[in-house]
């Protein structure tokens, strides 16, 4: 399927929001690098392919970090939900929330009205059924009578704007991200978390309807919206975009609750994988995504998926940029170099096998592009070469919008 209404943007180098200069404590200038474009309409199939090549979206902007030059390399990760093993801490978080929603009186009365068999007690004691436990306090699941302490409901809704959602966003941005009220606007909220170019549709998977497109997963307690997950539902995954929660409920760790709830949605909806966005190993506060195991990391050059453990994790501890396929090829090259005593190849290997990439920093690359350097000459890891594009893509069939008007592509290399 072809992309629709695509506006090419190019390459940008900007300040990074994940790391700070050690000497000044301020954000590093021109240290974040990305390749990006915008689109007003995109099929979920095309976006699934883009995600599996390291792309993400923010509203109608699609971006792919330049992992090589970025000060905090972003690696796409995914979790095969059938293999998820929640940690003790994650299980405890779910149980604490369920106990709060249900209340002690409900639990006591329910045990009398709806006694559990010895076999069921043993099963619950010795295991953790994610689908069962994550939904245990949901209003439509709770056995009544008796009445639970709170009425907790989670609904999947189209990613449309409402005042209720904006109010939650306003609270979250001011209390959690410490943004100034003057910097928060309805238009910004709509652009960031409501506007999506993904075309909503429904398909049948194993005889059940599967929703696809952009949605809001809304958490309501006693009728009040207290949290919201922004999700892209794609043919093979649930992709988490953003999470908001009200500051009144910060102690309940909705980051963990929502991650497990979204993993459960992935299982129940037959999506296979749960994508938590980018894994940033160099940023301590972003490493938490690796706590949901087993995670796999997308190789930025070969697009293979490698487990986030052992060899890969060891390399990430030592190097800023890691491509496991490149590392393995480099080892083979080292062995060949030693046999042939090729000094040029040896020098390349001493540099981690990266001698073929010009402009080593985001700032230098950004300056080069603004000065007219082709993105092909920039050699961003994982992007197709001119020859690959010419041989594998029908560029002429892709509609391109130029100054508000659609134009036919006439491409020459």
Tell me, what's the pLDDT at 413?
Answer: 43
Residues 6+ apart with CB under 8 A from 256: 89, 90, 93, 94
Mean pLDDT of 74-84: 97
Tell me, what's the pLDDT at 351?
Answer: 52
Share of the chain above pLDDT 70, in %: 84
Q: Of 156, 149, 157, 322, which Cα lies nearest the Cα of 221?
A: 149
Share of the chain above pLDDT 90, in %: 62
DSSP state of 161: -
Q: Is the distance from CB of 297 to CB of 287 less than 8 angstroms?
A: no
Tell me, what's the pLDDT at 71?
Answer: 84
The reply to whether the predicted model has a pTM over 0.85 is yes
Q: Where are the domains of the chain?
A: 83-152
Q: What is the DSSP string of 20-33?
A: B-TTT-SBPTT-EE
pLDDT at 8 over 90: no
Poorest-pLDDT segment among 25-34, 101-110, 238-247, 356-365: 25-34
Tell me, what's the pLDDT at 1?
Answer: 38
Mean pLDDT of 98-104: 98
299 vs 286: which has the higher pLDDT: 299
286 vs 203: which has the higher pLDDT: 203
User: Band of the pLDDT at 108, cuts 50, 70, 90?
Assistant: very high
Mean pLDDT of 102-117: 92
pLDDT tens-digit profile of 292-336?
999 999 999 999 999 999 899 999 999 989 999 999 988 877 666
Burial class (CB in 10 A: 0-12, 13-18, 19+), 230: buried
pLDDT, averaged across the chain: 86
pLDDT at 220 over 50: yes
Q: Is the distance from CB of 402 to CB of 5 less than 8 angstroms?
A: no
């Amino acid at each position: 399927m072809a992309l629709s209404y695509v506006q090419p943007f190019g390459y940008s180098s900007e300040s990074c929001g994940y790391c700070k200069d050690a000497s000044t404590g301020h954000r590093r200038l021109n240290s974040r690098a990305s390749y990006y474009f915008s689109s007003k309409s995109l099929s979920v199939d095309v976006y699934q392919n883009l995600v599996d090549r390291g792309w993400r979206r923010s509203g109608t902007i699609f971006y792919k970090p330049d992992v090589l030059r970025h000060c905090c390399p972003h690696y796409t990760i995914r979790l095969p939900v059938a293999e998820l093993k929640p940690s003790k801490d994650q299980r405890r978080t779910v149980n604490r929330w369920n106990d709060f929603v249900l209340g002690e009186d409900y639990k006591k009365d329910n045990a009398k009205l709806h006694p559990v068999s010895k076999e069921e007690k043993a099963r619950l004691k010795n295991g953790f059924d994610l689908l069962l436990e994550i939904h245990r306090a949901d209003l439509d699941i709770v056995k009544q009578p008796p009445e639970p302490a709170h009425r907790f409901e989670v609904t999947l809704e189209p990613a449309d704007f409402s005042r209720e959602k904006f109010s939650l966003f306003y609270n979250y941005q001011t209390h959690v991200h410490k943004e100034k009220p003057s910097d928060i606007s309805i238009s910004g909220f709509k652009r960031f978390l409501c506007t999506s170019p993904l075309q909503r549709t429904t398909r049948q998977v194993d005889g059940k309807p599967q929703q696809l497109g952009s949605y809001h997963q809304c958490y309501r307690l006693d009728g009040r919206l207290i949290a919201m997950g922004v999700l892209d539902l794609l043919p093979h995954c649930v992709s988490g975009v953003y999470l908001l929660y009200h500051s009144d409920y910060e102690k309940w760790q909705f980051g963990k609750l929502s991650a497990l709830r979204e993993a459960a949605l992935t299982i129940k909806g037959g999506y296979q994988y749960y994508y938590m966005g980018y894994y940033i190993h160099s940023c301590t506060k972003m490493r938490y995504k690796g706590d949901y195991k087993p995670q796999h990391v997308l190789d930025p050059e070969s697009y293979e998926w490698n487990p986030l453990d052992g060899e890969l994790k060891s390399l990430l501890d030592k190097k800023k940029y890691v491509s496991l396929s490149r590392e393995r090829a480099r080892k083979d090259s080292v062995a060949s170099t030693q046999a042939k005593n090729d000094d040029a190849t040896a020098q390349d290997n001493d540099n981690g096998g990266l001698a073929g990439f010009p402009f080593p920093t985001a700032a230098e690359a950004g300056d080069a592009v603004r000065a007219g350097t082709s993105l092909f000459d920039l050699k961003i890891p994982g992007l197709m070469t001119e020859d690959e594009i010419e041989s594998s893509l029908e560029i002429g069939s892709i509609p391109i919008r130029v100054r508000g008007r659609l134009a036919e592509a006439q491409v020459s290399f």
